[in-house]
Amino acid sequence: MAQPTAYIVDALRTPGGRRNGKLAGWHPVDLGAAVLDALVARTRIDPGAVEDVIMGCVSQCGQQAGQVGRNAVLASQLPDGVPAVTIDRQCGSSQQAIQFAAQAVISGTQDMVIASGVESMTRVPMFSPSTLFEQAGLGTSKSPGLELRYPGIQFSQFSGAEAIARKYGLSRDDLDLYALESHRRAAAATDRGDFTAELVPLTIETPDGAVLHDRDEGIRYDATLESIGAVRLLQEGGVISAANASQICDGASAVLIVSEQALKDHGLTPLARIHTLTVTGGDPVIMLEEPLFATDKALKRAGLRIQDIDLYEVNEAFAPVPLAWLRHTGGDPARLNVNGGAIALGHPLGASGTKLMATLIHALRKSGGRYGLQTMCEGGGTANVTIVERL
């Protein structure tokens, strides 16, 4: 009997919006609804056939509180009979949404699931769920039990990024050169129209009337090594700056994942199939290094070598992460984030997993590559790895 397979029919994302930029006027619920509607319209599926929506979101408070995934369904054109759930695996939230959706399909539990993500970092600033409660005198997330096991340690992605740079001998120049290449690749991809197939243009109201937001806002077309190097370091004696780290970003993204039966029942043509799903946990202090070891496990499980993978998307939360990943895996820099990454395009936290999958799937289609691998570092020292096969 053939192994059940989860297929990707389409993958879409909004163009990224800078903090207080073009997407600042969009409520995150409506932003999430927009990509759900676009996915249904593009694939021409019966909206009532969607059996679940799994939406990643990191900062689940304020405008993203009250189960933002369900609220996005209710704000969309999907019937209110379509359920939804919101999940938080930090930056990997919507990559985990893909994996949960695929697991539902592979298990035979469901035939058609939308994995998605949303984050308005303008309207719900990063760290809001912790800082607002701390300011109100309601305590912190570090419990007595955590303090006992990790005494005096403040878990920090910024110190984790510095630690990775030190461990792998990465200098400020190494990181700045990588950041410059991210902008150059993203600018070139935009100019070539490589993102067109994955983008959901959005209407933006301005004092001069409505305009279409149809390209990523954070790309610096005039970036130079000098301009990147002039940005202040985040800590004295360190190597991380805002210019060699991911950009704060508003955005949403979605992927339609279905079974073989759904392909037949709805006349759908898949773009790819899910080949391998992996998630691992590691050191929560260095925190951002886990994609290296998760990739080892994923490749072993898949029976593949890094040389077999045609394209990789490794989230550019901080430049040391993809650079350390390359050194560890022996990957080819020419196959890594070929259209730029979060340093240029932005990292809308809970939306980044499905965002990267949209870029990976469409880049594989253009290049004719067979296998693609996606991974990202996540708060708490976890990492997801998803390997897909283009069809």
Do 195 and 189 form a contact (C-beta atoms < 8 A)? Answer: yes
DSSP 151: T
Q: Which two tokens stand for residue 324?
A: 């350390």
Active site residue 61: no
Do 22 and 249 form a contact (C-beta atoms < 8 A)? Answer: no
Count how many Cα atoms sit within 13 Å of the Cα of residue 14 in the half-sphere of its side chain. 35
CA atoms of 289 and 379, how far apart (whole Å): 11
The string of DSSP codes covering 61-115 is SGGGTTTHHHHHHHHSSS-TTS-EEEE-BTBTHHHHHHHHHHHHHHTTS-SEEEE
Do 332 and 369 form a contact (C-beta atoms < 8 A)? Answer: no
Active site residue 249: no
Residue of 283, 342, 60 lying closest to 159 (CA atoms): 283
Tracing tokens 């202090």 back to the chain, one arrives at 285
Q: Which residue among 183, 275, 347, 362 is the active-site one? A: 347
Q: Which two tokens stand for residue 52?
A: 């679940």
Q: Which residue among 57, 91, 249, 362 is the active-site one? A: 91
CA atoms of 298 and 158, how far apart (whole Å): 26
Residue of 153, 179, 154 lying closest to 165 (CA atoms): 179
CA atoms of 46 and 81, how far apart (whole Å): 13
The string of DSSP codes covering 364-390 is HHHHT-SEEEEEEEETTTEEEEEEEEE
CA atoms of 361 and 170, how far apart (whole Å): 30
Q: Which residues pair with 91 in a beta bridge?
A: 89
Active site positions, annotated? 91, 347, 377
